[in-house]
Amino acid sequence: MKVIDKNMKLFGKVSLLDILIILIVIAGIIAAAAYFGKHGTGIGSVDTQTITYEVMVKKVDIDIADDIKIGDQVNDRVKGYNRGFVESVVVVPHSEKATDLTTGAQALKEYPSLYDAVIKIIVNAEVTDRYINLSGNRMDIGKEAYLQIGANVYKSWVSAIEIHDEGGSQ
């Protein structure tokens, strides 16, 4: 009776382990083709379109609107790319959720002498069916950004995105 070696050669110089590795690679390729065929690569057809997005800058002085003018260029302070031009600035009272310690109820509480600035910015960006790219960086609602407008830097969050098309806007 012959003893079978684990690394027994089946076809000349090809071992059972080699065949197993090849089958795993082929299965991976088939799985990737099935996944990306169904879900797409995420790139889609890239189209440069005008978008307007809002950022929220929290806990600022009321005279922030004096520092930011319509038409000012907005740059990313960290990465240095152009994020568009200021379309409008609205200053609203700052409010946060506060919990009533006796009842446990939560309500919005306004804080005197603190304000939030809502800045609308217009820019051309790459728009696909799955996401929006601005200078190679993905735009998402809730994403934090350090924006430089003039000499000032503001910590902000994207609060809304509007995509404009030829016939109006979405």
DSSP secondary structure string, 78-119? Answer: TT--EEEEEEEEEEEEEEEEEE-TTT--EEEEEEEEEEEEEE
Tell me the C-alpha distance between 116 and 62, whole Å: 8
What would the pLDDT profile of 75-113 be if each residue is shown by its tens digit?
988 888 889 999 999 999 888 888 888 888 888 888 888
What is this structure's pTM? 0.66
In this predicted structure, what is the pLDDT of residue 11? Answer: 52
- Compute the mean pLDDT over every residue in the chain, rounded to the nearest whole number: 82
In this predicted structure, what is the pLDDT of residue 123? Answer: 93
